[in-house]
Amino acid sequence: MIRRLYDWVLAWSRSPYSVWALFFLAVAESSFFPVPPDTLLVVMAVALPARAYRYALVCSLGSLLGGCLGYLIGWQFMSLLGTKIIAFYGLEDKVAEIGSLYRRYDAWAVAIAGFTPIPYKVFTLTAGMFKIDFKVFFLASLVSRSARFFLVGGLIHRFGPGIQAFIERYFNMLAFALAAVTVVGFLVLKYLF
């Protein structure tokens, strides 16, 4: 089933709407949605390696906009929406600890969440809730999310068709690894902070 979905996305990634889909997936993931945009970014960049940097830029801008949306939700609508989003991920008991991370590390807490599989959306919501300096939040998000997506885009641009053959050959293992890394990010946030 996952293989069929991969093939479908690979074919769909060449449609005229794929860039918008990537953009909106990045916006949604940074504020509330559980599926990372990396998956679609990889598929689209593998399909057209010459456009990998363009896709990384689209993904970065969408993610930055989504992070700002998450910040706004946390700042103005935490009790209405933000707490429900955090509860969906089972991380209600971690909000105070994330607040202490902001007090200790400020922009570094946002940057680490923005670059790693730790759920960035939880950090965007709580950044608004704890009213961390928006300029600091914005710059940390810009740097970390861009670094993440341009790293992916750069690797695919550099290795192009070779990376596609690798993905095709080891698809099931890579799909499992991506899912595992996402789950580990949530677990790290839930149990180590």
116-135 confidence digits (pLDDT tens) = 777 889 889 999 999 999 99
Q: What confidence category does residue 40 fall into, taking pLDDT thresholds of 50, 70 and 90?
A: confident
Tokens in use for 150?
């341009």
Residue 90 has which token pair?
């089972």
Q: Which residues contact 160 (CB under 8 A, 6 or more apart)?
A: 49
Residue 139 structural domain: 2-192
Confidence category of residue 15, pLDDT binned at 50, 70, 90: confident
How sure is the predictor about 185, in pLDDT bands with cuts at 50, 70 and 90? Answer: low
Is residue 88 pLDDT above 80, yes or no?
A: yes
pLDDT of 93 over the 80 cut:
yes
Q: Is 192 exposed, middle or buried (0-12, 13-18, 19+ CB in 10 A)?
A: exposed
User: Is the confidence at residue 10, as pLDDT, over 70?
Assistant: no
Higher pLDDT, 5 or 161: 161
CA separation for the pair 142, 148 (Å, rounded): 10
Which residues in 156-188 are b (16+ Cβ under 10 Å) and which e? Answer: bbeebeebbeebeeeeeeebeeeeeebeebbee
Cβ–Cβ under 8 Å, residues 150 and 56 = yes
CB atoms < 10 A from the CB of 38, how many?
19
pLDDT band at 160 (very low <50, low <70, confident <90, very high): confident
pTM (predicted TM-score): 0.78
How many domains would you assign to the chain? Answer: 1
pLDDT reported for residue 21 = 87
C-alpha–C-alpha distance, residues 193 and 181, integer Å: 17
The half-sphere exposure of 107 on its side-chain side, counting CA atoms within 13 A, is 13
pLDDT of the residue at 60: 97
> What average pLDDT does range 54-62 have in this prediction?
97
- Please say if the pLDDT value at position 13 is more than 80: no
Over 90: is that where the pLDDT of 5 sits?
Answer: no
At 164 the pLDDT is: 64
- Helix count (H) and strand count (E) of the chain? 10, 0
pLDDT at 138: 96
Mean pLDDT of 74-96: 90
Q: CA-CA distances (angstroms) from residue 17 to 8, 13, 29, 30, 70?
A: 14, 8, 18, 20, 24
What is the separation, in whole angstroms, between the first and last Cα of the chain? Answer: 35
Q: What is the mean pLDDT of the chain?
A: 83
